[in-house]
């Protein structure tokens, strides 16, 4: 028997083709999500760096109005840093002037920025569950195709009334191809998920540090805010 892929594909049953199509869709989805996240990560990072360079002097000069105006600029639409700064300054402007309420108000500002950090982290993690799902389930989907291949082997034995290699070779080859296909889909998805997750963790640490620095700035410049 010829064991070329074209010959093996000719022995695929309808059920096996359905499994193969599902694996193809899963592979396309994982690549699409990875590309989407890579583009979003790059854009968010670039806009946040640009925002930091843009408002740095305004913050030093306590030009709060200019900073808040920059946070709403279209060019910083995807900047996580802009949203953290906006949240901190907006809440700080609502501080009570009494010393009695200062600690409570600053705690409120800190909590507001923490919520913003959480929201931004969720936005950065969007669609990553698809990568995790593909990585964890693709091998099992491949095994389902393996089961169909083994079933075809038994059907071949029944049809030929023989247990020889020629009777089962087609089904076994089909089963092995589907097992390999599942792994080929799953392994890159695992790599891509780990890469994306590491980037999100890095962004989360950066955002937490930015929120902490912003809170310190508000404490020092409270009178000007």
pLDDT confidence of residue 53: 94
Average per-residue pLDDT in the chain? 87
**Assign residue 127 a region: left if phi > 0, alpha if psi is -120 to 50, beta otherwise?**
left
For residues 45-65, average pLDDT: 92
3-state class percentages of the chain: helix first, strand second, coil last, to nearest 5:
85, 0, 15
pLDDT confidence of residue 164: 55
Confidence of residue 158 (pLDDT cuts 50, 70, 90): low
For residue 87, is pLDDT > 90? yes
For residue 167, is pLDDT > 60? no
Residue 104: CB atoms within 10 Å:
11
Q: Which of 17-26, 78-87, 142-151, 157-166 has the lowest mean pLDDT?
A: 157-166
pLDDT confidence of residue 75: 94
Residue, of 142 and 162, whose pLDDT is higher: 142
Cα 182 to Cα 138: distance, rounded to the nearest angstrom: 5
Confidence of residue 193 (pLDDT cuts 50, 70, 90): very high
Helix (H, G, I), strand (E, B) or coil at 164: coil
Helix (H, G, I), strand (E, B) or coil at 4: coil
Residue, of 179 and 156, whose pLDDT is higher: 179
pLDDT confidence of residue 150: 84
Global confidence as pTM: 0.83
pLDDT confidence of residue 161: 59
Task: Select the highest-mean-pLDDT range: 6-20, 101-115, 118-132.
Answer: 118-132
Distances (CA, A) of 90 to 72, 153, 195, 199, 218: 12, 69, 34, 28, 11
Token pair for 36: 């989407």
pLDDT confidence of residue 141: 96
pLDDT confidence of residue 26: 97
pLDDT confidence of residue 9: 64
For residue 12, is pLDDT > 60? yes
pLDDT confidence of residue 3: 54
pLDDT confidence of residue 155: 72
DSSP 57-69: HHHHTT-HHHHHH
Q: For residue range 17-49, what is the model confidence (pLDDT) as tens digits?
A: 999 999 999 999 999 999 999 999 999 999 999
Q: Is the dihedral of CA 34, 40, 41, 46 positive or negative?
A: positive
Q: For residue range 94-109, what is the model confidence (pLDDT) as tens digits?
A: 765 545 555 456 888 8
Cα 27 to Cα 191: distance, rounded to the nearest angstrom: 13
Confidence of residue 163 (pLDDT cuts 50, 70, 90): low
């Amino acid at each position: 028997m010829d064991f070329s892929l074209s010959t093996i594909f000719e022995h695929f049953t309808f059920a096996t083709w359905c499994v193969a199509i599902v694996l193809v869709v899963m592979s396309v989805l994982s690549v699409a999500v990875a590309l989407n996240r890579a583009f979003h990560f790059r854009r968010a990072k670039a806009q946040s760096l640009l925002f930091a360079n843009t408002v740095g002097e305004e913050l030093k000069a306590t030009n709060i109005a200019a900073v808040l105006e920059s946070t709403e600029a279209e060019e910083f639409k995807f900047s996580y840093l802009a949203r953290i700064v906006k949240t901190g300054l907006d809440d700080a402007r609502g501080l009570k002037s009494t010393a009695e309420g200062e600690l409570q108000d600053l705690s409120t500002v800190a909590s507001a920025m923490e919520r913003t950090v959480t929201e931004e982290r969720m936005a950065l993690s969007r669609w990553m569950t698809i990568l995790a799902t593909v990585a964890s389930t693709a091998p099992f989907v491949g095994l389902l195709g393996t089961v169909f291949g083994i079933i075809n082997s038994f059907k071949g034995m029944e049809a030929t009334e023989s247990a020889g290699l020629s009777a089962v070779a087609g089904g076994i080859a089909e089963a092995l191809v589907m097992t390999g296909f599942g792994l080929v889909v799953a392994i890159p998805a695992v790599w891509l998920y780990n890469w994306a997750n590491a980037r999100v963790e890095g962004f989360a640490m950066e955002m937490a540090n930015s929120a902490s620095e912003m809170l310190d700035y508000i404490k020092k410049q409270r009178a000007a805010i």
